[in-house]
Structure 1
């Protein structure tokens, strides 16, 4: 198997590439404001430079945090999985929402395990333009199976571990998300585990991404969803101040 390593600044560069329209809009508005400022009265010409400075600081902060998370931190080393003690021969499933940065890494880390990869992305329901762009730029992991979020084909062949990394939040509808989690519940063995990594709709992510934090779900919402799907929350960890790791198991 070819070794896959992440390139320097790959995470933050991907964010810009996949969401370039936001930056075009932002810098266009900044340019318009700068022109408008030329025609304002001297007494209020300080206002627009302050607005521009705040906007520029917000963009810089969000990209800096993204660099810290996706490039500087050890999130893609997968060292945080050590506590699971995944034994050779374990059956692994990785489920993503159209953009997969972790299947190759899981395969490299657990070469003696079997790995299935499912993609539940549906452009009719999961309408993020950034995912569409990512899919055009990156090839899928070999033998990735297209599935429906409400029909994960694991009931007859349950897994030991199911991974869902930066994916489940793309399911915006609560009922669909709970049904998806119920599918995962049916798709693991009695002693199996679900591993979910997500940003949260909380203060650190608000500071980093301002209104962009509404794209995420709150900790309370996730816990309600887990309970409704029949899971017990075995462990919750902060991988960074901006990322939560949830390890789920079936209720006794």
Structure 2
């Protein structure tokens, strides 16, 4: 494995990398397409299954290309629209694949940044995440964290930024603990910025069964309410990624 330096971090993952991280799923899908093409001549159900697999293979790659290669997602320029004053002192929470902290540090050089990594605390580590981890090792100085304990004293950050991390906590109790910790370390008036695919119609159409790895929108709203946070902003990037800004208006 080639070790990338902090000054030459790997380019953000695009559609090709998404396929690489999830290659067994794509290989299975391609096999289903082949079986459907052969068996489908005699069995209509097999033909329909193969056609559906072909759709999800092509649609997921095209959607990933739109999100990860063609949208402003990885640039973080869009953050200025939801946090006009910038993130201030901020905590970046990752779950094994941190492609945000270096960009945020460069965009906001005057803001103090802490990076927390939940990877070692995940009860279940998806094989795709292990493959991503091999390509993008933890950034120097990142701190190991648990959902029940994020680095930082009470009210120590203006913003907590969690891109594609919280859904990797497969147990509801861990997600609840994480949002409670986010609320704890936030200063009053601070914000949690969640960036997630949601288990919704748009993602189900293009990612098929893979969309069940995501959490439904209502789960994030439930966690916000349970943690004493208010949904102050909800937006979309490229039609498939949801951005939620959860505000802490008072001590919790």
Band of TM-score, shorter chain: 0.7 to 0.9
The structure with more radius of gyration: 1
Structure 2 match to 1:19: 22
5 Å-filtered alignment, 1:1-252, equals 2=7, 6=11, 10-36=13-39, 44=42, 48-83=46-81, 84-86=83-85, 90-122=88-120, 125-156=123-154, 158-252=156-250
Superposed displacement of residue 14, structure 1: 1.2
Paired residues in the alignment total 244
Instruction: Tell me, in whole angstroms, the C-alpha distance in 1 between the residues paired with 2:154 and 2:20.
Output: 40
Moved more, 229-238 or 28-37: 28-37
Q: Secondary structure at the match of 2:202?
A: helix
Equivalent residues of 1:154, 1:186 under 8 A apart: no
3-state secondary structure, aligned to 2:114: strand
Whether the 8 Å contact between 1:4 and 1:105 is mirrored in structure 2 is no
Q: Return closer, same or farther for 1:194/1:210 CA change in 2, 3 Å cut-off.
A: same
Change over 3 Å in CA distance of 1:179–1:124 after alignment to 2: closer
Say what the alpha-carbon RMSD is for the aligned residues: 2.3
Range 223-232 or range 233-242, more displaced: 233-242
CA change 1:157–1:27 in 2 (3 A) is: same
Q: Cα distance, 1:50 vs. partner?
A: 4.7
Q: CA 1:45–1:229 in 2, change beyond 3 Å: closer, same or farther?
A: closer
Correspondence for 2:3: none
Distance 1:105 1:207 in 2: 31
Alpha-carbon shift at residue 105 of structure 1 (Å) = 0.7
Q: CA deviation at 1:176?
A: 1.3
Following superposition, the deviation at residue 46 of structure 1 comes to: 6.3
Unaligned segments of structure 2, at least 5 residues: 1-5
Q: Could you tell me whether the CA contact under 8 Å between 2:117 and 2:143 is conserved in 1? A: yes
Q: Distance in 2 between matches of 1:20 and 1:231?
A: 38
Distance apart, 1:126 and its partner CA: 2.9
Give a deviation string over 1:97-124, Cα, whole Å, max 9, x none.
1111111111111111111111011365
Distance in 1 separating the partners of 2:209 and 2:86: 41
Distance 1:5 1:77 in 2: 14
* Cα separation, 1, equivalents of 2:121 and 2:187: 31
- 1:159, 1:192 within 8 Å by CA — same for their partners in 2? yes
SS in 2 for 1:204: helix
TM-score (norm 1): 0.88
